[in-house]
Structure 1
Amino acid sequence: MSRRTRASLRCSPPPGSRRTSLRRCRGQRRRPRAIRGGPAQDRGTWIAEWAVTPKATGCSWGRTGRVDSMYIFDRFYRNPAFSNGLVLAESVVAAALGIGCGFLLFPAEASLIGVFLVAFAQARTVELLLDRNRDEIWGGGGKADTANLRLTISLLVMFLAILGTYAAATLLAPESKVLVLFERQIGGYGGHSITDVRFDDLEGVLGHNLIVLAACFLFSLLYRHGGMLLVLAWNASVWGVVFPYIARTAPDVADGGPVVYFLKSFACIFPHLLLEACGYVLVAMAGVFLSKGLQKYEIGSPRFNQVGLAVLRIVLLSVLFLGVASVVEAWVAPALIRRLF
């Protein structure tokens, strides 16, 4: 076995490993590359370039050459699958940090900055979820419906974790800070009872929800998982803030206090909230899939037609979820409020 072959074997990471290190690849040495018309690179520059471009040296820990160690939660992930419990925990931490950092750094616009920080923090997780979905469909021989269902559940877990974190922050924050933290989400809902909330008729609810659905699809088509996260994080923050704030400021709070009032209110709106969230998650997935298909495949090719058909099915399913959610919001939610309050 030649010296070069032995060095290459020492450089190769073990099966299932996504990382390698400079120490592991010490057997493979390269001279600084000379730049035409300029001096050779110094050793420090070469090491920095080697660290972020592993494929140039034959050492690879991933398909894209990214430095995974820059992401704080990556050490807990195991490709190609990771648990929804981890997604839940990370989403709670990301939402809490987004709320806190938004208030500390930009108190005047904390309600908006916090949502952007949450979306930014979760981008890597959604990217990994999309990669898992792609591998299960195209590389693992699995069924597309099963893979898409797994992705939908993971995104719903993330959505509900963000919503729950915002609800807890609204209930626990000092009363003087609630408006500063969540001004944009609260809007004009303060000081009213849950019985004062007026639900639109079916036509109005369905029209509003379809507009949000179209916006979610467009954002996901243009900005992929970044647009998906912005829309989902914003909706989660609004739903997570409005009803706890009503519970804190309502004039008819009972002996149970704001927490019991919020739980009763949330029980009334949770059925249509969950159905709407499913619709928004599905249409956001469709936008991301179509965006990736337009980039990778030629329009009219068999692969693109397969992606387009899957996108159409997902969009129709999201519209179905939204239609059912609109019926529940227009008829069931008001009936539950009248019964519980």
Structure 2
Amino acid sequence: MLDQKQTDIPGRGPGAGVQAPLPHPTGGSDFARLSKLIKDSGLMGRRPVYYAVRMSLILVLYVGGWGAFLLVGDSWWTLALAAFLAVVFGQVALVAHDVGHRQVFRRSRASAVTGRIAGNLGIGMGYGWWQDKHSRHHANPNHEDLDPDVVPDIFVWTQAQARKATGPARVIGRLQAFLFFPMLTLEGFNLHVAGVRALADRSLKQRRTEGALLFGHFALYLAALFTVLPPGKAVLFLVVHQCLFGVYLGSIFAPNHKGMPTFTGTDRPDFLRRQVLTSRNVRGGRLVDTALGGLNYQIEHHLFPSMPSPNLRRAQLIVHRYCEELGVLYLQTGLVESYRQALTSLHRAGAPLRQAG
């Protein structure tokens, strides 16, 4: 059932600037009518110039970061470059995300090749593993039985999960709201390990190519660190870089669904409500859009995953007004408030574990 008790969701309701009603198409489901409005607005069209510029800039930053690393050499200043490259790696991950959703290329082959180069070779993330996991998340967001992102492996997301928790989740779940951001320092390492483990799955497409690119990344990465830096500094660079990379990635994805209602069993509303009720938008300007890669428009992204990310800002106005007219709850918050809501929900979910002693 819908787990409304696991989250406080303040801030829902009307937004600023809602004016005349939208011209609703007739016939079809609620989502079909919204989809027609979006398509008629031209927001599903490709943005080749935008992505050419964005991907070129990120490539320049990526190459420039590693070039600066080689030039600086054996110096403590390389730790500043580790922090810089953590952000660049996060931006590469966001490009891989958009490519995986077919936002950039029409052809699946071009998407797959670019995704593997960016993911596997660029940042050491198994693209095939991620795409399978992320597709299942999009199909059933916050469904405890179907969404791999709410599996209670380390954290518990509802009190029902807490009562059944075993292993690490039973220990960590007691203080998980306080441990959430510190635990994100391990997320970069987790992505690498998960990508390698996925290579054992024979159903993984292009498994040999994925493996070659993934281990190619590891070899080049470690060779650069231990050739340029003495062992101690190399290890410190690796820790700083990977931990900050993990925190940045987690900070991008944490506001999207954490602390939102969850589903269980056969409780699955229609597509529009399934996506809107479980997602949270984050308000902000162009800086927030860039830092979060457009995923601050999470509701619109979940409704139209193949929509190019620069179009989401305009789509948000249409979707928000449409949801208001339907009476579908639609949540927008500031960035800090989104983290507060997520952490509050985590703390509440772990209550049965604290009560158990």
Structure with bigger gyration radius: 1
Same fold (TM over 0.5): no
Structure richer in helix, relative to its length: 1
- Which protein, 1 or 2, shows the higher relative CO under an 8 Å CA cutoff with sep ≥ 6? 2
TM-score if structure 2 supplies the norm length?
Answer: 0.29
